[in-house]
Amino acid sequence: MMTDAAFDLNPGLEGKLLRLWIKFLKRSDLSIDDDFFESGGDSLLAEELLLEVEQLMQTKIPPSLLFETGTVRGLAERLGRTETLVPNLAVRIGGQGGRVFHFFHGDFTHGGVSVRGFAAVLGEHRPTLAIAPHGGSGERVPASIEEMATDRLSLILEAQPSGPYLMGGHCAGALVAFETARLLVSAGHRVELVVMIDPVVVSLRPSVQLLLGTLDLAKRAMGVAPHLRQQSMALACEKFAKYESALRQHSWGFRRMTNGSRKAAPPGLRRARSVVAEDPEVLAAYSRVMSTYRPSPLAVPVLYVASRFSGGGWRGMSPEIELIDAPDVDHNMSGASGAAVLGRVRERLDALDPPAT
């Protein structure tokens, strides 16, 4: 066990961290106050950097610490106090002039290191409240998306007591954003927009629901215990999701070839292998939650970005839904094509809340 003395803030620690900044960013003009992400860092570099910081400090460091601090000075200050190694559940980043965009980043394995890139594309004027998913640093994963939304609602009301609200989320976070919007509407608040970026859920399709229902009935008839039936449902949903993802990628490649181009799919479609270890218990918990999620329609405007996963099943979830179909963009919205899609999200947000001139 490391002692507090081992984390004492000193110029030596700042110097060692700065050398890591220079090594990974390949820049010699950096100072302890230069932001890692604004200086050219991305999510993959951040994960690799954190591994070396862990080796330097000889302790486990939450991935979100780099996202929360950004600079050598900020990270050194957090590492200087062991009690601050617990990640914050909500972090405000970006501008000060516009209305807050409440964003459930959904990154329960990597700590949300990609959020700063998202926020940068949304514009310097747009303040973003990045809300952490459940499951980080030993936090219990609730049994449903609705419970996740209920638990995180106070973070939004604390940052913005009254509407109108701009909401959004990525992956599983998109589902939590949708259900949090439902809670806000039920409490009498106005939600102007929910941005859903490629949520991983296939159980809305009638064909999938029929197959899952048949599977569950068969397991019940066989006397399978409830928790084992739930595991089977989660596994089936994972297989459906992988099939849908593969089908969309192959379909996109076929369309490119029939249009006269034999160019390979962009590198973003080939998912990079993470250098951060994923907690199998947290992954299993999210699989169970996703397999049982059955949302009801909600009368709020929705901007739905479908890249790796189709948004067809969501068309009946809102009377005002706009679908951005982007099968050529990877799930993490990386690269120029991802930035272009996020640019369309920015346009929609700015139309509702124009930047000050």
CA-nearest of 180, 171, 145, 148 to 289 is 145
Identity of the residue numbered 295 = P
- pTM of this prediction? 0.74
Cβ(318)–Cβ(211) below 8 Å: no
- The single-letter DSSP state of residue 200 is -
Domains of the chain: 1-87 (1.10.1200.10), 89-357 (3.40.50.1820)
Buried b (16+ CB within 10 A) or exposed e, 307-325: bbbbbebbeebbeebebbe
- pLDDT tens per residue across span 38-89: 888 877 788 888 888 888 888 877 777 887 888 999 899 888 776 556 778 8
Give me the pLDDT at residue 225, please.
78
CA dihedral 7, 13, 14, 16 (to 10 degrees): -140
- pLDDT tens per residue across span 153-202: 999 999 999 989 999 999 889 999 999 999 999 999 999 999 999 887 75
Look up residue 341 and give its two tokens: 């899609």
On the question of pLDDT at 103 being above 70, the answer is yes
Mean pLDDT over the full length of the chain? 79
Q: CB under 8 Å to 297, separation ≥6 — which residues?
A: 316, 317, 318, 319
- Strand-pair category, 321-325 with 90-93: unpaired
- Strand-pair category, 165-170 with 101-104: parallel
Please count the helices (runs of H) and the strands (runs of E) in the chain. Answer: 11, 7
**Which is more confidently placed, 354 or 284?**
354
CA–CA gap between residue 189 and residue 185 (Å, rounded):
5
Q: Mean per-residue pLDDT for 19-35?
A: 91
Residue 70 Cα to chain centre, angstroms: 18
